[in-house]
Amino acid sequence: MIAFFTIYELEQLADDQLDELYAVLERLLMAKATGTAERSNILASLENITRVRNRRCATPAQSL
């Protein structure tokens, strides 16, 4: 079964790692049947990746 990635877990990854994970999950999504738990986990994880990406774009970088 494919794991569900939480926002907390995804926030620990760098942008390029998020991009890689998103691409892998998109490929896996195509291989899963509609209505399965695995597909639901992948869709939720993709949504969480998008949320983390959007939050990073909207939040200005902290100055030192």
**pLDDT tens profile 1-44:** 778 999 999 999 999 999 999 999 999 999 999 999 999 999 99
pLDDT reported for residue 28: 95
62 found inside a domain:
no
1 found inside a domain:
no
42 found inside a domain:
yes
Which amino acid would we find at residue 47? E
Q: With beta carbons less than 8 A apart as the criterion, state whether 4 and 47 touch.
A: no
Tally the domains of the chain. 1
61 found inside a domain:
no
- pTM of the predicted structure, to 2 decimals: 0.86
Q: What percentage of the chain's residues is helix, strand, coil (to nearest 5)?
A: 70, 0, 30
pLDDT reported for residue 2: 77
39 found inside a domain:
yes
64 found inside a domain:
no
pLDDT reported for residue 61: 66
Q: Which two tokens stand for residue 59?
A: 């939040």
Q: Which two tokens stand for residue 17?
A: 């790692």
Domain that holds residue 41: 7-55
Give phi and psi for 33, each to the nearest 5: -75, 145
Q: Does 63 have pLDDT greater than 80?
A: no
pLDDT reported for residue 60: 72
